[in-house]
Chains A and B, each alone.
Chain A
Amino acid sequence: VKSDIPRLSATERMILDLLAEREMFGLQLVEESKGDLKRGTVYVTLGRMQEKGYVESWVEAQAAGAIGLPRRLYRPTAYGLSVLEAWAVAARTLKRRPRLQHA
């Protein structure tokens, strides 16, 4: 059954957690995650999150005479943060569930 509830994978949660602190580049996210995020996949995940509306990005302004491609900065959207908050609440609620007593 396809539900309309927004999904948030563990990687997406980690990225939103990191971006909630400050806006970052993709490579910074990899470094800040201490190896949990990989260089090869983080940009694809960020692209997917952007499609879902969880993060927004913009290209950094380059100084005159700078060579190379301009870097892309990411920050969470209000929607992304509310999804993260909702998942955190759900996780806390489900954690509190009492264990079943077996007879």
Chain B
Amino acid sequence: MMPGRLLHRLASFLIPADVRERVLDAQLADFQYEMSHLSGCADRRLALMRGYAAYWCALVLCVPAMARMAVATLRSWTLDRSILVVGVTIATMLLWAGSLSWVRTGSVQWAEAFGAVSTAPMWPMLVSMLVIRYCSRRRGVFGRLLVSAVAVLPTMFLVKALGQLRPGDARFEPWANALAIMMFISLASRVDPARHKR
């Protein structure tokens, strides 16, 4: 099997297309070419290690480019899109906090929402971002909101049921938030601004 296929898939999910094609795909293509032209077991092992190390190094170095693109994309967002994303984020946080307090105490305590904004992992919000992106063909704010809500609620309960990434779990929180922020940047930067211009 050709090495780097999984990494290529990972990059196509995380990294904007033009950065991926210019940087990561070029690196992977050379890596695959090198691997296919080596015959010795030791040489192949060495090339494999060097190739993977180089790939992860390049991936990390792509983060500023991703951030630049995300900022450029966010600037081009229309007002209704911005309102939609902010609204879905706040609604998700409130639902997240409310449902948690309901599980613990049997009553909804909305005051917990303020704490949740700063501490909760942003997975449900990311799901909504993903849904908004892939359902952007659906016209109208309410249509997108409805689709997002339908997608977010099961995700919230699934994440909570797994009991792994819940607010207050110090082991997972920093990693979850860091990954969530990376995914947010990635998702935001993958939106084609021309498609949303009115």
Contacts and interface: CB of A to CB of B under 8 A. Distances in A.
Interface string B9-49: 00000000001001111111111111010000000000000
Contact of A40 (B26, B28, B53): B53
B27 A39 contact: yes
A26 B27 contact: yes
B178 interface: no
A24 B111 CA distance: 61
A65 interface: no
B62 A68 contact: no
B33 A71 contact: yes
A34 B67 CA distance: 33
Contacts of A47: 19, 22-23, 65
A39 B34 CA distance: 12
A87 interface: no
Contacts of B161: none
A25 B54 CA distance: 15
Interface residues of B, number: 29
Interface residues of A, number: 19
A69 B8 contact: yes
Interface string A10-41: 00000000000000011100000000001111
B90 interface: no
A49 B23 CA distance: 11
Given A44-B61, A47-B65, A67-B2, A72 B54 contact: no
A84 interface: no
Given A68-B2, A69-B25, A71-B26, A27 B34 contact: yes
Interface of B: 2, 4, 8, 19, 22-34, 36, 50-51, 53-58, 61-62, 65
17 contacts: A27-B31, A27-B34, A39-B54, A40-B56, A41-B57, A46-B26, A47-B19, A47-B22, A67-B2, A67-B32, A67-B36, A68-B36, A69-B4, A69-B28, A70-B29, A72-B22, A72-B26
Interface of A: 25-27, 38-41, 43-44, 46-47, 50, 57, 67-72
